Every structure is written in structure tokens, then in C-alpha cells.
Chains A and B, each alone.
Chain A
Amino acid sequence: MGDHSFLLQIKNVSKSFSGVTVLNGVSLDIAPGEVHGLMGENGAGKSTLMKIVCGIEQPDEGEIVFKGKPVRFAKPADALNSGISIIHQELNSILDMTVAENLFIGREILRKFGIVNKAEMNRRTRELFRMIDVEIDPNRRLSTMSVAEKQLVEIVKALSYDADVIIMDEPTSAITDQEVLKLFEIIGKIKKQGKSIIYISHKMEEIYTICDRITVLRDGQFIATEPVNRLDKARLISLMVGRELKDLYVKEKAPVGEVFLEVKNFTAKGKFTDVSFHVRKGEVLGIAGLMGAGRTELAEAIFGAAPVDGGELRVKGRTVQIRKPVDAIRLGIGFVTEDRKLLGLDLKSTVKKNMSIVSLRKFLYGKQIINFRRERNAVDGYIVKLNIKTRSRDTLVSLLSGGNQQKVVLAKWLLSEPDILILDEPTRGIDVGAKAEIYKMISGLAKEGKAIIMISSEMPELFGMSDRIIVLHEGKLTGEFQREEFDQEKIMMCATGHVQGGISSRNQAGGNQT
């Protein structure tokens, strides 16, 4: 039936959910030993297509041919056993179990009488991790691990199934550049063994570094499959969004004014030490650093979401005490968290209720009674302003795409009209169209006279949007750069702790790593 030069063929697959067509006659061929990029905006149907390939969803129409034979996977285990493995964007690891237990879940190595052979599982776990040159304690619980580490566990798990096709859904959305390089190295090894990878990512650089061919989906339709070298970035983007996208990073000139927030000698044991910096009205301050550098922890401490052991905070020149988030909110600080599903949104609630929760006090008669009309008007205003794609304000926020969910989180904080806005990875896991809109918004907010702190692991984003960048390494400030001094190499040197750069003398006492 199938063409034997392809390992996996997806033929005219269609799928709809409660009347909404998500995939419409999509076809895709994967050659052995190929890294195949799958691109498209959020909602283009990439994830659904992959769910069909690995048996999580069933297609309404079309067929899948694997190793020359038509297959139909009724459940994920079927796909897994045939040799198709997926690493989900949202990690599915069980946090209360150890690395080894997660790795061997459902296929535990047993002794007689069905007793789990822990020692053997631990040994095999170490062995599997050594394949990618990582030393790991198999007994560590996943709850103690960072997102990056959990992701490594998922990758190793996929490898351990000896899969012929590994689907990676945004595998680098939460890992550092160094870890990305390691991942690419691993991908290279897998490729040499004749195995194929379907690689879903929003990051152009990665796609161009490792993919052999790219398939673009848009609105559930197949748009094109091209070898990478025949597809330049501009055309790829226009294929994805269906229109020409001009400059991604919109950076408007904003007058920089007084110091809005000053952080002095901030210390929290085991997280960060003696960190001092400031951000001015109209300024976008980027915070660079590797995963685990203490950037999120610092932001949480400023916002009162985590305790500090020492240091001082000044808001507009006045020394303040922030013990809990509500204190920060009253002082005009907003905090768009990194993990929107865990910390940013109430997924059981609607767009409207999520957006108004911080600013409810503005929509009240007296102290308690909600003025629904004012709430609706304010919420609708931001749905239009931020171009949030939702059926209505009363739609469950969980039904929105990632980019639109992120806009809801932003809207929630913008509704509170903060002077100081902390953005932690504001464009993580969202598509390029939504990214461009968020960049434009950040720029506009600075112009309106807000002070913005933007934590990001994406260099192009930091470079594109920041007026100034500070760098953290292992909880210490190791560099500070003005816009005209931005230099990827120098910033990476600071982020990895090899050098302190572009920084005034006040932090030199902090510590010398080299």
C-alpha cells in the first residue's frame, strides 16, 4: 500500500471536535532518519495531528501508514509498542514518583511474585541517562526537579521505548541554550540510527538548525512541505500566518523617566544573593540568565510571593514592605507568571472572571457587590484591545489557545493599571502571530510610561525588546548591558558565570566564579 521510502505516512486525515473542523485532509510523509519540522500557529492543528499519530485521538477520515502497513492505534500504548513515541509539551510526569519509577511506569521491571525490582530499574535508569551524557540520581522525586530536568526525563523515556518515530512537541520551551545543544546532539545520534523525529517548535532558529524538511499547517489545512534549504524564514512565516509579517520586534522610542522600582541587596537563601538593580518609567529591563539562575525566584520575591532574607525595595523612591502579593498589587506592581496554567489562570473559570479577579475592587458598588456592567465593559475593552480570540467573555479560558490564554493573563494585569509590570517568559509556548502582538503591546506599555521587567530565555526577544539587560548567574548579578552594548556572546559569558561584564563596581564584591 504505502511507499516504502517513507517510514510514516499520514494520508488525508480529517478530524473535528463537536462540529469544529480541526484538521481537514492533512497529509504528511516522514522519511527514515529525517528530522521533520511541523510548524504552524497555535490552533493550526499540529497537536491534534500528533495526537492522532500516537493514538490519543482517532481520525474521522484518512489513514496512517507505518512501516508500509496501514495502522490504527486505539490507544497510546498501541502506538508506543509499535514504535511511535511522543514527548508532550505539557509534561505528563508523575511528580510524586522518582525518576526511575516515571521512566518505567506501566512496564516496571519485576522480580518474582510481581514485586518491583527497584535496584534494576535504578541501574537501567542511570544507563539510559548516560546515553545522553547526563548523570542522574534515579531516586530523585520529580517534584524536586526543574522543568528542564523533567523534560530530560521525558526525552529519555521516549528514547527508552526504542521508538522509530519520536514526536517532540516544543521540547525546548523550558530548557536552557546549553541543554538545547545537548538535545540537538542527541537528536543527531537518533537520526544516525535511521530513526525519525517530528519536531514541533515555534523557534525558527531551532527549526533551521536541525530540521531536514518542514511541513506547514494553517487552520487545520496542509499548506506545504519543503526542504529547509528551499524555504527562507520570511516565506516560512508568511506560509504560517497566511500574510506577510513585518518586523517581529516592535520597539518604539519611549521617554525614560524616574526610577519606579529599586531593588537593593536582595537576598533569599539558596535562591539569590545580594541582587541590586532598578527600572525606570518607560524602560524595558530584560533579565537574562540560564534556567535555575534565580530569575523567577527573584521576581516572586519582589512580588511578595516568596520570602526574602534581606534587602530593601523602593517603589518610586519610597521604601516599602511587600509581604504578600496583595501588597505588591496595591503598590502598582503586576506579575505575569511564567507558568500560566499553574499560576496565571483559573482554568475552571471564564475569560471574564480570570481577567477581572485582580481588579475586582474597581467594579464594585461599595465594598462587595459587583457592578457587572462595568466589569463587562472593562473586560470587553481588553478583549478587543488585545485581540483575544474567544467566542465570548463567558467562554471557559481553558478552551482558548495558548497565545490567547497568555493574552488573558496580560489583560488581567493590565486591568489593574500597574506602574510596574514584571513579565516572566511572556511569550513561552505561543505562536509567532501572538508573539508579535505581545511585543507590540510591551512596547506600547513602555511608551505609556510603565516600567517593565522582562525575564526571558530567548535572546532575540531580550535583544529586540529591552532597553537594558541584566544577567543573573546562580543567583548573583553578573552583568549589565545598555541597548547599544548588547552582545550575545558577552551576555552568555555572564550567564554561564565565566565573566562579569559591562557592570558598575557596586556588584563586583558579589563573587568571582572563575
Chain B
Amino acid sequence: MTLSWGQLRNIFFKYGIYAAFLILVVVLALTSPSFLTLQNILNVLRQSSIIGIIAIGMTFVIIKGGIDLSVGSILGFSAVVATSFAHPGEYPVIAPIIMGLLVGVACGLVNGFVIAKWNIAPFIVTLGMLTAARGMTLVYTDGKPIINLSDAYNFIGSGHFLGLPIPVIVFILVILVGVFLLNFTKFGRHVFAVGGNEKAARLSGVNIFAVKLAAYAIAGLTSGMAGILLSSRVMTGSPILGQGYELDAIAAVVIGGTSLTGGRGSMIGTVIGVLIISIMNNGLDLLNVSSYYQQIIKGAIIVLAVLLDRKSNN
């Protein structure tokens, strides 16, 4: 290393998480020869895509000043409803896709409506949905995985298009739409405004109710997408799909520099956050670090990232 510690620290504080990301990539590239192979990069991207898609939706909710704990359960519910329409020879493949997305949006709308209409803390409402949606998933499947899915459906999660895995393509599209909505539209501005100062936003004519409803609906929609992709990838509508994903998604958003108190954050930051998590998992796998240790490291990274973000913002 030619950089001194002081220089390194300055770079860290100036570019925050972006510098950390680059350093992580460089270190892994130097220590593990298989890290920078095309195969491994695609592997990392595909592993990132499911959490990544959810994290994009989550970013809207957190910038708005909320939180959505129910994304993992919504993913599961969407997955089982979608797969139940995906048996061979029953419906065209568009049917399970539409059903999965509808379930996701519907759950998100319920979250948003209850939060915005009755002004109940998002933590509580989505915690309720976390439990309820998982319950509905179990009721819907009677606790048994849905198997025997059509090839067309299974292709969504495992197929390639232009050499890229389809989940990765979907992830990239979702990122593009997310960046566009957040940074280039009135809606995006309103999301920031509500998260930054809800009272001031209301007095400025922002429709708080609509913004909240839309933010949770988007989170529901992305969870639905993730549900379809994941169930198709594992070729099963398992009722336990997506368990615990909410924490990974929130971690990615927070690592990416979005403030948990709302009003500040970025979509690109979230993408970096997602990549950091999966590159780390991947790198530690390649370096043969036990998955038990990986959890400890991941936990520490989340807290460090927030600390780093605060330093670089001051």
C-alpha cells in the first residue's frame, strides 16, 4: 500500500461508502483470483438482485421517514400466490406474474393506507403486516411448498437474456426506474419533503397521504417482483421464502447513506449498499470464511457504515 493511513482516512471521510466499496473490491481482487472473473461477477449480481430490488422500494419508504418491516413476508405471500398460478398447462406465464405483483401492491397499499390515514407508527403497522402476510401465506399453502411449476415460469429466475441473468436485468431496470422517480420527478421531491419535515411539506401543499400511500405501494410492488424472481429461481413457492429479508434490505439502504429518520438518501447509495453486502458475502465465501463469522462481520459493517456516513457528511 502506498497510501498512508491519514490519506486513506481522508478519502474515506470524503467519499464515504463509495470509497469503502472500491477498497473492498480492490482488496478482494488482490486476495482472491477468482473474484474478478465474469462468472463470479454475474454470480454476485444475481445474488444481489433479489435483496436489491426490495431495497430500491425500501429506499422510498425510508426517505419518506418510514420503515417497512413486512417486505420479506410480502415477498413470501406474492411468491406462493404467483406459483399457484404457475403450474404447467394451466395459465400463460403472464398470469402468475400479474398475480404476484397484485398481491405485493395490495399489501403495500394496506400498509400505506393504515399508516397515512390513522397516523400509526410505520414500525407497528408493518410489523403487523410482517406477521399477518406470513400467516396468510401459510393459510394459502396450508404450510406446504407449491411445486411442479411450468418451464416458462422457472425461466424467469434462471434464464438469461443477452448473456445476463434475467433477475439482474430486472434489478437494473428497477434501479433505473427508482433513480428516475426519486430524482427526476415531483413525486420524488415530495418523498424527500415529507421525510425531511412533514409539517412544512403539508403547509407547502404536498399531499402527504398520497405520498405515503405511494411509497408503501412501491415497496409492496418491489417485494412482489422479488417474490416472483425468487420462487422461480428455486422453482418452488415455499411459504417461508423471504424470511428475514427485510433486515438485509434495510441494512443495504442504511449502508448506502440513507437516513433512517428520513429526508436524506440516495438510490445509488442503496445499490452500493446492496453490492457491499453481497460482495462481502461472496468474498468471504471465496476466502473460506465460515458463514457464522460472516454474520458477525456483516453486523459490524452496518454500524460502521452509518458511522462513516455521518463523518463524511460533517
Contact = CB atoms under 8 A, between A and B. Distances in A.
A349 B263 contact: yes
Contacts of B187: 368
Given A368-B186, A370-B184, A346 B192 contact: yes
Nearest to B206: A357
Nearest to A346: B196
B185 interface: yes
Nearest to B261: A348
Nearest to A370: B184
B259 A412 contact: no
Contacts of A332: none
B185 A357 contact: no
A324 B204 CA distance: 10
B186 A361 contact: yes
The contact size tier of chain B is: 20 to 34
Interface stretch (A35-43, A220-228, A336-344, A456-464): A336-344
B199 A358 contact: no
A226 to B, nearest CB: 39
A348 B263 contact: yes
Contacts of A329: 204-205
Interface in A349-385: 349, 353, 356-358, 360-361, 364, 367-370
B63 to A, nearest CB: 10
Interface string A313-348: 000000000001110011000010100001111111
Nearest to B207: A326
A369 B196 CA distance: 21
B160 interface: no
Nearest to A371: B184
Given A348-B259, A368-B186, A325 B204 contact: yes
A97 interface: no
B196 A349 contact: yes
A351 to B, nearest CB: 13
B202 A305 contact: yes
Given A353-B192, A360-B186, A347 B197 contact: yes
Interface string B197-211: 101111111110000
Contacts of B264: 348
B14 interface: no
A481 interface: no
A357 B204 contact: yes
B186 A325 contact: no
B233 interface: no
Interface residues of A, number: 29
A368 B185 contact: yes
A360 B189 contact: yes
B97 interface: no
A295 B199 CA distance: 19
Given A346-B263, A369-B185, A358 B193 contact: no
B193 A346 contact: yes
A487 B104 CA distance: 66
B79 to A, nearest CB: 31
B196 A347 contact: yes
Given A337-B203, A346-B201, A370 B196 contact: no
B104 to A, nearest CB: 22
A370 B185 contact: yes
Contact of A346 (B185, B186, B200, B205): B200
Interface in B104-144: none
A147 to B, nearest CB: 16
Contacts of A249: none
B200 A343 contact: yes
Interface in A153-211: none
Interface of A: 303, 305, 324-326, 329-330, 335, 337, 342-349, 353, 356-358, 360-361, 364, 367-370, 412
23 contacts: A325-B204, A329-B205, A335-B203, A337-B203, A342-B197, A343-B199, A344-B203, A346-B196, A346-B200, A346-B201, A347-B196, A348-B259, A348-B264, A349-B263, A353-B189, A356-B189, A357-B206, A358-B205, A360-B189, A364-B186, A368-B186, A369-B185, A370-B186
Q: 4 tightest CB-CB pairs across the interface, nearest first?
A: A346-B196, A348-B263, A326-B205, A348-B196
Given A325-B204, A370-B189, 10 more contacts: A326-B206, A342-B199, A346-B193, A348-B264, A349-B192, A349-B263, A353-B192, A353-B193, A367-B186, A368-B185
